[in-house]
């Protein structure tokens, strides 16, 4: 039997936000390699005898190095297994999917990329923030806070980003001060609405809103846990009235997920 790797987006946190295709492929897998942001309820969807390996990478807490993960993936596929490589959100958004797909392609092995719901879009949605909106924003950008302003070899043009209507910063919770001051220095109004959304789409979701100038202080007060994303732009101002998400109701999502378990679509 020839093996194949499925590089699957697991969605932003809430387990039933995985795609139907992603779930079906996960349920057929012999081997599951999963990251730290993947909901445990999803890993539970694998067959009882499937091999499950946590290869998670948290900020400054690397369980396995990327090369080791890539090697594991290649070896399991080469051995003829159906491997589900589960990644948080969408695998192509800061998910190292390029490196893993490249390694599989170079080894002549089959793979498929199964897109997922990225936290970059799901977190704003769950905070009632439309990333584009007529009259407010006709464009958005998604950027990593790891390439924070001032980093010696940064290739991120923060001056250009200051002029994007909606800016979504991933992996930036520890650098919010620097991001806000750099954007203001680059000409973004200090009064621009901004929000940080922590543990979006889960029962633990929390949202902190402030102006760009006041956000760092508001965050020190709130002490939000990771993962979190930062959204900056006039659309954030709409969020306060469009807030629809009641975290305690995520229970419903779990029930819906249990029902989904009964059958394969």
Binder among 29, 101, 161, 229 for ligand SAH (CB under 6 A): 229
Q: Are 52 and 25 contacting, i.e. CB atoms less than 8 angstroms apart?
A: no
Task: Say how far apart CA 176 and CA 167 lie, in whole Å.
Answer: 13
Q: Are 84 and 25 contacting, i.e. CB atoms less than 8 angstroms apart?
A: yes
Binder among 3, 6, 7, 12 for ligand SAH (CB under 6 A): 12
- Token pair in block for residue 161: 């980003």
Task: Say how far apart CA 116 and CA 19 lie, in whole Å.
Answer: 6
Nearer to ligand SAH, 46 or 173 (CB): 173
- Which candidate, 58, 9, 49, places its Cα nearest to that of 27? 49
Nearer to ligand SAH, 3 or 91 (CB): 91
Nearer to ligand SAH, 130 or 247 (CB): 247
- CA separation, residue 47 to residues 4, 20, 29, 30, 190 (Å): 17, 16, 7, 8, 52
57 is catalytic: yes
Alpha helix positions (H), 86-191: 97-106, 119-126, 158-161, 176-185
Residue nearest to ligand SAH (CB): 89
Nearer to ligand SAH, 32 or 224 (CB): 224
Q: Which of 16, 30, 35, 90 is catalytic?
A: 35
- Which candidate, 153, 169, 4, 134, places its Cα nearest to that of 78? 4
| By the rule CB under 6 A, 90 interacts with ligand SAH | yes
> Which part of the chain contacts ligand SAH (CB under 6 A), choosing from 118-126, 148-156, 159-167, 216-224?
118-126
DSSP class of 173: G
Map the footprint of ligand SAH across residues 191-220, applying CB under 6 A.
197, 199-201
Question: Mask 137-176, x = binds ligand SAH (CB under 6 A)?
Answer: ---------------------------------xx-----
Residues with catalytic roles: 35, 57
- Residues near ligand SAH (CB under 6 A) are 12-13, 37, 87-90, 93-95, 118-120, 123, 170-171, 197, 199-201, 227-229
């Amino acid at each position: 039997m020839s093996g194949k790797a499925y590089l699957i987006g697991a969605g932003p946190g809430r387990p039933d936000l995985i795609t139907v295709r992603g779930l079906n492929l996960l349920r057929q897998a012999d081997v599951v390699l999963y990251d730290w942001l993947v909901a445990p309820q999803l890993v539970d969807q694998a067959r009882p005898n499937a091999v499950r390996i946590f290869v998670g990478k948290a900020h400054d807490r690397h369980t396995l190095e990327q090369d080791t993960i890539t090697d594991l993936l290649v070896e399991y596929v080469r051995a003829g297994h159906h491997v589900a490589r589960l990644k948080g959100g969408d695998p192509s958004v800061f998910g190292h999917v390029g490196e893993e797909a490249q390694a599989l392609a170079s080894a002549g092995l089959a793979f498929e990329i199964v897109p997922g719901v990225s936290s970059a879009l799901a977190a704003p949605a769950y905070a009632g923030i439309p990333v584009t909106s007529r009259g407010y924003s006709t464009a958005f950008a998604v950027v990593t806070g790891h390439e924070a302003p001032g980093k010696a070899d940064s290739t991120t043009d923060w001056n250009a980003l200051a002029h994007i209507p909606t800016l979504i910063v991933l992996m930036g919770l520890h650098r919010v001060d620097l991001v806000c001051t750099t954007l203001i220095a680059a000409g973004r109004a200090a009064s621009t609405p901004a929000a940080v959304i922590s543990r979006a789409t889960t029962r633990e979701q929390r949202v902190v809103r402030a102006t760009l100038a006041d956000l760092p202080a508001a965050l020190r007060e709130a002490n939000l846990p990771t993962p979190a994303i930062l959204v900056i732009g006039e659309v954030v101002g709409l969020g306060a009235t469009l807030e629809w998400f009641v975290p305690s109701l995520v229970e419903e999502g779990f029930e819906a997920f249990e029902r989904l378990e009964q059958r394969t679509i």
